[in-house]
Structure 1
């Protein structure tokens, strides 16, 4: 396919997403199935442009004065890809498979339009109703922070120390030019540019042998900040597919005991194969049955309870740009209730002197400090440990300047730490 034909396809897919309110991955998959002539390179380029357009949807629409799929793609080519108006005009030629020629208004906006007077939600490409919440966290850095959250994310890997070192795995992946992550001692980062498909790590021997897992550096750091000890009794209450469970097991060097469970048993389905591939032997998976609590027999016994809470996922917008336009006040309210419930469960499980580590992939204060404040109000026998103490105890004191400290925890972000937007708070049971 020609570059112009790829642009036409991206406009078609984006229109499908907007019209039918479909997840981008589903729309792209269906387009590929009905256009089998498109090669893997074509599909990767089309997907890259679609996701970039979703990242820059608000600013691209502002630039072009329209929210239509064609306008959003045009604005994205100018703002995100940095293509000059004249070159865009050559691509939009109206020739075979190319988009229709530019109108005079489109050409004028591409040549002279700017975001100079755009409101924060436009310049930062996020839903307007979240402005006050995000401003409460980021203050004067709101535009810069949200701009960073609208950029492409790299591919991060966590080296499984049960099966190798970062140096060894990095050498085996030399063909992908990985570099060490700046903060996590276990991470490798692989960059990929616009229109490039991320490497298929799942088919690489190092992945098949369990030497690496795909995991954002922020998620790696959250598990490391939990600082589990080799003989601890640990409960992972929202284990899902097991990403952080695996990280905890490696940090404990297969000693102690981890109980992995999740309120939705379907989310636990992948964990068994992942544990086997990673060589993990200290995890007991507790699958819920009916309304019974799968870990209620552990009440008051856990040294550490990890709550990787269900949340809006606002911190992962770099990787899931279409999700940010689907966040609604109602969905936030649902998540807040779920977070309160799982934190109350954690409080019942932790022993005196034990810790709850509360993690979200969110940058919204309601889901972060707000959830912790609610727990502390409901449970007088708990106290938050300062973020500075958490960093020092886990051996990450040098990260203090890169982080944003909140009232009860710490916030990572693409601008400050180069990670997804993760929040971590540590709460100790004092009585």
Structure 2
């Protein structure tokens, strides 16, 4: 008499697993394509235009992403997150093909690379809004921590394979061939998303720009009125000013300053991603179980800054690889500890707005970082600037000591963390709900 319900449960569970596998595959392919492209473009720009061109490119991309979040975020309410990812993948394939065509037929033109790069940032903002929140909506709360670990592991594998594919592509196919390969990977990601069914209750009218700005302002107010979320965001803002260039534009510049080849750049980025893989697959859980989330979050944050400083002062390629491996491990351990809690704590009806606010803060810091690095490189060597960025990142981590209730929050279990902000700050969300128009 009780056989049918378990069968239905098994069918539903099998369907959920298929959806999760397709989501993770598409996410991994997008990351693989992006990281392969990210290994080729900086090397191309650094060799053709020098450090100033690369710093300008980094700042322009961060500023474009800042604007893109404002433009792209409201569209998710109309199309839904699975459609966002699928359509963005196809658009990225088209833009990647245009970039590859430029390298094939026209050679290096910084203005054209900047234009195509800014267009890609618009699409990436559209995709990332969905990529960073879709698991929390399509995966059950009890399965979310494992799904997030799988995603982090998949992204780390992509981070290893992407730069290695890029290095092999540059060696055997040249810059243009490696860029064509990245465009093909974007297309495969779009095909993978065809296996993910769309959300059934999404087809709402997109917000008008003025309405979305009102929603975004509401998200800023909500974030500011929650002391822990406000402090967490401010510390991350300062930290990312130095972490972003350390994990991005300074790596090809350091490899170039050491006289290393393009293959070494691929090896450096792969070492960073290998460290992230080890940290996400083993390090975060093992350390948190033995030391506690709070100690791990602070301790490995300090060590990550130290590792990036060591990368800056590295005298050889081997030292650089070791430092980036350690930095990647610490980055994964630090970012995963607390990430699940923070995702669960956000009220579901506020996730898009609060994510958009966090993304705007990150991209603002991401624009400031390359600009500071570019100005510093006019006066000091790459090694000195890189080392200083790592040390300044290290100095910003203890700011978490002054974030209200941060330690208490990290001691909660996942059930207690779910919707924690609404329970602890009902006046923030209660007032917002009451003032919203029907």
Q: Larger C-alpha radius of gyration, 1 or 2?
A: 1
Q: Give TM-score, length-normalised by structure 2.
A: 0.23
Higher RCO (CA 8 Å, separation ≥ 6 residues): 2
Where is the strand percentage greater, Structure 1 or Structure 2? 1
Q: Give TM-score, length-normalised by structure 1.
A: 0.23
